[in-house]
Amino acid sequence: MNTVYNFCAGPAMLPQPVMRKAQEEFINWQGLGCSVMEISHRSKPFIALADAAERNLRELLSIPQHYSVLFMHGGGRGQFSAVPLNLAEATEHADYLVTGAWSKSAVQEAERFVTPNIVAESCVINGETTLPDQASWQCSDNAAYFHFCTNETVDGVELNVLPDVGDVPLVADMSSTILSRPLDIEKYGVIYAGAQKNIGPSGLSVVIIRNDLLDRARHNTPSVLNYGLAAQNGSMYNTPPTYAWYLAGLVFEWLKEEGGVSAIYSRNKAKAAMLYEGIDATDFYINSIASPYRSIMNVPFQLADPTLDDAFLTQAEENGLMALKGHRSVGGMRASIYNAMPIEGVKALVDFMKEFERKNG
Ligand SMILES: *Cc1c(COP(=O)(O)O)cnc(C)c1O
């Protein structure tokens, strides 16, 4: 098999050593003579696996004891409903910062359950996507929580500074950035992430929640979305996505072996710098996100001449560079360079981009 680098935004590539280990133990896990996906979630070996995964995640992100870690169903979007149902009454206001497609979707879902207030929206100034100064944000007086998306997977917009919202619990959609950089967990009320970008397979979502927020769910919250119920039951109120949990556990082990979150952050910064340098070095390629907001996980870029898009994508695939087509709402290209993408993959992409420009520029 030729080397293929998969730049898919999600479900995204997983680390090679994780996939190999999963393959090795696929039909005979821990000598049990069957797969980990064929055993009870309440069995001793599975509980041990589940505990180890949580312990490793806690260690990787330095999650304090007064926070719970939940392994839930329903991916990222499931949390768009879970957040208002668990944290606000129907009559309450909730603040939402809109920085791109995903935070906009979160607002749309929240409208079913609360009155979302959009405090500010990203905008284009002098051709660059940026965010209005925080002094101009229109926050509610008594918001039940403040929701934002730390990394907009579609738009390639990442926030490096935390909104300053006083005592209002900060709720962060970290689906495409969790574990890519160190975090100060205590700044947040709730962090959630669909797993399929930096954690494991799709369907699973990981929730990190401050314990005092666990008992606020309104009475008609569906049980499978209820944070308190999930916490009381060790994330096993109903059958959890066991195989996804297992793979997430392998990814956490891998990340620890790679040196943890600060080591991967250095690597992620180097990968992103290499790619943005390649884009900025020429007018042939364009990324129009203002530099403080450029994502280190998802790098969208346009060809100045979009009639070359198809040729670019076809030739990229011929060179083993997969899934570079941009989101349909943005067009152009997007390279997702999550934790699992090795620096060699980014180098191969930048080399290909130079060569493509040489032939077509
Ligand atoms: C992928 C993604 C989601 C949605 O995840 P699903 O599992 O498809 O529901 C939500 N938010 C962000 C930031 C994402 O990248």
pLDDT per 10-residue tile (average), the chain, 361 residues: 91 97 98 97 98 98 98 97 97 97 98 97 95 95 97 96 94 98 97 98 98 97 98 98 98 98 98 98 97 97 97 98 93 97 98 98 83
Note whether 266 and 296 are within 8 A (CB). no
Is 309 assigned a catalytic role?
Answer: no
Looking at residue 329, what is its pLDDT? 87
Note whether 114 and 88 are within 8 A (CB). yes
Q: Could you give the count of Cα atoms lying within 13 Å of 123 in the half-sphere of its Cβ?
A: 8
Residues 6+ apart with CB under 8 A from 33: none
**Which listed residue (29, 102, 137, 245) is catalytic?**
102
Measured at the CA of 175, the angle between CA 170 and CA 179, to 5 degrees, comes to 90
The correct CATH number of 260-360 out of 3.90.1150.10, 2.60.40.150, 3.40.50.720, 3.40.50.620 is: 3.90.1150.10
Q: Whose CA is nearest to atom 5 of ligand 1?
A: 76
Looking at residue 38, what is its pLDDT? 98
Q: Whose CA is nearest to atom 10 of ligand 1?
A: 76
Which stretches of the chain are DSSP H helices? 16-24, 44-61, 75-87, 101-110, 227-232, 242-257, 260-280, 309-318, 343-360
351 C-alpha vs ligand 1 centroid, how far in Å? 30
75 C-alpha vs ligand 1 centroid, how far in Å? 7
**CB-based pocket (< 6 A), ligand 1:** 10, 75-77, 102, 149, 153, 173, 175-176, 194, 197, 202
**Which listed residue (95, 137, 197, 271) is catalytic?**
197
CATH topology match: 17-257 vs 260-360: no
What class has domain 17-257? alpha beta
Nearest alpha carbon to residue 143 among 113, 101, 123, 114: 114
Is 164 assigned a catalytic role?
Answer: no
**Which listed residue (29, 104, 137, 173) is catalytic?**
173
Q: Whose CA is nearest to atom 7 of ligand 1?
A: 75
Residue list, annotated binding site for L-glutamate: 42
Note whether 216 and 75 are within 8 A (CB). no
Is 173 assigned a catalytic role?
Answer: yes
- Sorted by where each begins, the domain ranges of the chain are 17-257, 260-360
**Nearest-atom index, ligand 1, CA of 153:** 15
194 C-alpha vs ligand 1 centroid, how far in Å? 6
What Cα–Cα distance (Å) separates residue 323 from each residue in 148, 195, 275?
27, 19, 16
